[in-house]
A and B are shown apart, each in its own frame.
Chain A
């Protein structure tokens, strides 16, 4: 990425302090391409709405006595959306972006649903996306806490005990090739039958998905100090606990945070999937399921975007903690 002009290039820093100039340069370097890609994706989405919703728009137009081609409904039935859109371009374009229960709702419809679900409803109402997001988030955080604690404990064991390294690590890897999601409905039923319900079963699934990145990252991190540093502590006569607290743990933190970011995203997926097979009544997964039962496509898309925003916020929050903590420890980039 050395293709931008250096800061000292002619005119690069005119009238700006170094900090501002750097910021402006970063803006042009990443923000413009990202904004272009996002805009292109949204444009594609709008474009895709036309053929996807064509059969419904043409049907609506025919009911409103507009002449469409082909005229009989039975002729239209076998045609693809694209063919219908090409033969009735005017009707297909005007009707594509404002349907109820569209096959593919337009971005502004999803945005409106998202806005209605977050800002227009009281947060305690079960129509509020904030409420559902909170239900999912609470299970996510509980599972993430379990998973992280388990992951760190396993990693500490693996680093200090050769037996554990040799016996547990292969199984931890195998455990991740098992699609946990297959086990999710069973975990929920089994825990229910021994009297545990609510957020704990979902949290168990979240924990299972998030412990592995933490184990791998922490094992790598706890082993990251080089031999010289270990030797130095040995010459100081440091105990195993001191080596752990003063050398291994601090140097593992960058690895830990990288894993935590993966782990929280995985936890959220676990919590959402944990809500699917049980017919849970609250949570973003439940919104997805209800939306798919009743064909409320806008509701599905809104729940999907709410989940995406939630994931992004969680990852960003961990990123901020990382930046603050590593900055204070003198390890900030």
Chain B
């Protein structure tokens, strides 16, 4: 019980510290911006540990973070193998193919107005559908290995990427297009020098949405059949064995991979669209 009370005290202390940081003199500095969420996260993690130990929560319900960390360290080779299977082979290859295909279709659709008017509503509709449902069909067609996972990812990322790219390509002001015309620019020149650059914020938005979808697609497809490795496979078998520490270790892998993937795209975005108002301040 003492541990639980200590957890609550810790929570109050962390919150008070954050409140001081957030309203104190250093509130606008980068250090404070980084410190506040880190303190918040660390407090949550510490509370989790203390409450699980204090209330003797059984392992099958919730393992303590320290136990998960131990498992993570001990099973590193297995986790790496799963990461390669699910992320590098399944999600990443599907992401690249899907985004490239959607980009190409968007460029073609943008060239022909009729196609754009037809594809945009259909694409918007498809982007809202539960496309993960195609996983069993694609696993049936492409077998159990990573190819079927990549196929699911391709289908999942295609429509959000398509819709965003098409929307981005039409996001130029009439004045800018007129200027290009007075320069006598050809279609290709207008596309490369004006419309693609100004579409970049939209394209990166699509790329960022797609990072999460890619991981979800790759993991869900593994529930429908996979070789004996992969994040989704390991999670479903470990849940069956009630080895929840292993499940949490896999979740940590998936979370790390997802966050790093998103972060990498966001970093590239910052370098490519440095001119955009949202990055200038």
Contacts and interface: CB of A to CB of B under 8 A. Distances in A.
B141 A103 contact: yes
B117 A29 contact: yes
Interface stretch (A30-38, A148-156, A251-259): A30-38
B47 interface: no
A324 interface: no
A186 B140 contact: no
A176 B212 contact: yes
A289 B136 contact: yes
Contacts of B255: 174, 177-179
B232 interface: yes
B125 interface: yes
Interface stretch (B34-42, B72-80, B179-187): B34-42
A317 interface: no
B200 interface: no
Contacts of B55: none
B235 A185 contact: yes
Interface string A165-199: 11111110010111111110110011001100000
Contacts of B40: 167-168, 171
A212 to B, nearest CB: 10
A276 B119 contact: no
A131 interface: no
A250 interface: no
Interface string A7-36: 000000000000000000000011001111
Contact of A103 (B128, B140, B212, B258): B140
A289 B139 CA distance: 12
A277 B139 CA distance: 16
A interface: dominant SS? helix
Interface string A300-333: 1101100110011001000000000000000000
Interface in B103-144: 113-119, 121-122, 125, 128-130, 132-134, 136-137, 139-141
Interface stretch (B1-9, B161-169, B190-198, B217-225): B217-225
A137 interface: no
Contacts of B140: 103, 292, 295, 297
Contacts of A50: none
B66 interface: no
Interface in A267-287: 268-269, 272-273, 276-277, 284-285
Interface stretch (B15-23, B92-100, B270-278): B15-23
B121 A178 contact: no
A139 to B, nearest CB: 13
B41 A171 contact: yes
A92 interface: no
B216 interface: yes
A297 B139 CA distance: 12
A34 B216 contact: no
A37 B254 contact: no
A288 B37 CA distance: 40
Count class of interface residues, chain B: 35 or more
B176 interface: no
B231 interface: yes
B128 A163 contact: no
Interface residues on A, range: 35 or more
A226 interface: no
A30 to B, nearest CB: 6
Contacts of A3: 113
A288 B117 contact: no
B61 A30 contact: no
A291 interface: yes
A163 B14 CA distance: 11
B250 interface: yes
Contacts of B226: none
B129 to A, nearest CB: 5
A43 to B, nearest CB: 14
Given A171-B40, A288-B136, A297-B140, A307 B261 contact: no
Contact of A178 (B22, B39, B141, B251): B251
A272 B41 contact: no
A137 B99 CA distance: 31
Given A178-B251, A193-B60, A34 B128 contact: no
Given A37-B118, A166-B36, A186-B239, A308 B254 contact: no
B80 to A, nearest CB: 17
24 contacts: A30-B121, A33-B115, A163-B19, A167-B18, A167-B39, A167-B40, A174-B255, A177-B258, A177-B259, A179-B219, A181-B216, A182-B215, A182-B231, A182-B232, A182-B250, A272-B130, A273-B132, A276-B223, A277-B236, A277-B239, A292-B136, A292-B139, A292-B140, A292-B225
Given A163-B18, A189-B239, A193-B60, 9 more contacts: A163-B36, A166-B33, A176-B212, A177-B211, A177-B212, A182-B231, A186-B235, A308-B130, A312-B125
3 smallest beta-carbon distances between A and B, as pairs = A33-B118, A292-B136, A167-B40
Interface of A: 1, 3, 29-30, 33-38, 41, 103, 162-163, 165-171, 174, 176-183, 185-186, 189-190, 193-194, 261-262, 265, 268-269, 272-273, 276-277, 284-285, 288-289, 291-292, 295, 297, 300-301, 303-304, 307-308, 311-312, 315
